[in-house]
Amino acid sequence: MKVMRASSFWRDLKGIIDYFDNVKEESAALRFIDALDGTIDSIGEHPDLGSPWESSRPRREALRFRLVKGFENHLVVYCRRDQHVYLLRVLHGSQNLDGV
């Protein structure tokens, strides 16, 4: 399945990498990118295995998420449409997730 990344996904990823850089954890940033790539590959192969995103907003009913393996405080929010998977966000669980 073709995986597409939204601009919000790239902004989130930049923020996470910048955080690792600011706390002098360059090796953690590299491990995170590897783990994220593995998670994205898994989403592309099995998009329906992600957990449904619970929201009272009807527009968000199609959203799903997966935890980043090895970085379980981070999650990838995505949706599936036809033969495409759209990665919308990559977030830390401590963030306010209501705005997703």
E strand map for the chain: 2-5, 51-52, 64-68, 71-81, 84-92
What pTM did the predictor assign? Answer: 0.87
**Would 100 be classed as within a structural domain?**
no
| CA separation for the pair 29, 96 (Å, rounded) | 22
pLDDT in tens, the chain (100 residues): 899 999 999 999 999 999 998 888 888 999 999 999 999 999 999 998 988 887 666 667 789 999 999 998 999 999 998 899 999 999 987 776 666 5
Domain count within the chain:
1
Q: Whose CA is closest to 65, among 33, 34, 90?
A: 90
Tell me the CATH number at 72: 3.30.2310.20
Task: Retrieve residue 14's tokens.
Answer: 């930049």
Number of H helices, E strands in the chain: 2, 5
Q: Is residue 99 part of a domain?
A: no
**What is the residue range of 29's domain?**
2-93
Q: Cα–Cα distance between 25 and 29 in angstroms, integer?
A: 6
Q: What is the pLDDT of residue 7?
A: 97
